[in-house]
Amino acid sequence: MKADASRGLGWRAKLINPVLDKEIRLRLRSPRAMWTLFFYLLAIGLIAFAAIYLTQILSGSGASYNPQQSRILFYFLAMAQLGLVAFMAPGLTAGVISVEREKQTLNLLLTTQQSSTTIIVSKLASSLSFMVLIVISTIPVYSMVFLYGGVSPKQLALVFLFYLFMMVMLGSFGIFFSTVLKRTMISVISTYGVTLFIFVGTGILYFVVMNVVDNYLNSQGAVSAAKASSYQWVGHIIAWNPVAALYSILDPTVSDELFRAGRYNTSPTKGAPMPLWLEFMIIYTVLSAAAIWMSIRKLRPRLNRRS
């Protein structure tokens, strides 16, 4: 019995180290966490009821509610929640290391037996744990969609897994800037700047390049399918955009549409090489892993130079 108990404590010590335990207690036991959760659910609830009102009352459908309207409500909620995740996740991680440096407690933390990997991963996990709690708590709001049909449980599961991936991705960028940059304010600005480029800049770049390609192909008159397919590389630009990736989960046919160059030309072209959301996750998995690795390397710059 004692051996089993010590074995259980050993696994608990490996999974929940002192840094992670302290950060989670500080974040989840404060009154601010309760009020943040309350206002987040209030915002999502108001968005859901507003969407129901706009799709049902203003459309003049009366007491009826068809699955197509339920699908539109699900799309609306999914995009709204993605925007809230993009707004909150960088702010939760962009100052976790720089704040320790400004409080002059980072050196004390580095003198403990915790490795750089443990510190970075624990800071990231504790920062995102509250965000995961918030997102999971919105599942009852989505249950309104299943009252009317039109959305499968598989789609809902994929959307929530996509939210989790977005939190880790944006969190890794935030903790990278928090480690590399000395000031919390500069780190926060840099993280939100990168987030804005990912959401807005990649979309603008795609539409500009696609418009140039479309105008060129249309000016050529009759274009063969092979020539139109040679410009499908433009679709890889939008694969960097999380809004397009999420929409490809909601509507799988959008992947082929976004990869189709010369959309005003009648020449048939082949579709996307892979689902848009899958390419998005492959790209940002590599970038997130690189950001976490660089954060671990830069956490102890003096020790690295001596070695």
What is the model's pLDDT at position 60?
Answer: 58
User: Could you tell me which residue, 129 or 24, shows the higher pLDDT?
Assistant: 129
Confidence of residue 73 (pLDDT cuts 50, 70, 90): confident
Residue 102 has pLDDT above 70, yes or no: yes
The domain ranges of the chain are 2-306
Mean pLDDT of 62-72: 64
99's tokens = 């704040």
pLDDT in tens, 124-159: 888 888 888 888 888 888 777 666 666 777 888 889
Alpha-carbon torsion, ordered 291, 285, 117, 30, to 10 deg: 90
pLDDT top residue among 170 and 112: 170
pLDDT surpassing 50 at residue 304: no
Q: pLDDT at residue 9 above 50? A: no
* Per-residue pLDDT reduced to its tens digit, 83-100: 988 988 888 888 888 888
**Do the beta carbons of residue 81 and residue 120 sit within 8 Å?**
no
Q: Is the pLDDT of residue 224 over 80?
A: no
C-beta of residue 190 within 8 angstroms of C-beta of residue 177: yes
1 is written with which tokens? Answer: 């019995």
Residues 6+ apart with CB under 8 A from 204: none
Phi, psi of 301 (to 5 degrees): -65, -35
Query: What's the pLDDT score for residue 303?
Result: 44
pLDDT the model gives residue 8: 44
Half-sphere exposure of 261 (CA within 13 A, CB side): 24
Q: Model pTM greater than 0.85?
A: no
Q: Which residue has the tokens 């890794």?
A: 172
User: Cα–Cα distance between 195 and 191 in angstroms, integer?
Assistant: 6
Tell me the C-alpha distance between 142 and 199, whole Å: 24
Q: Residue 219 phi/psi, 5° resolution?
A: -70, -20
Can you say whether the dihedral through the CA atoms of 48, 49, 55, 56 is positive or negative? Answer: positive
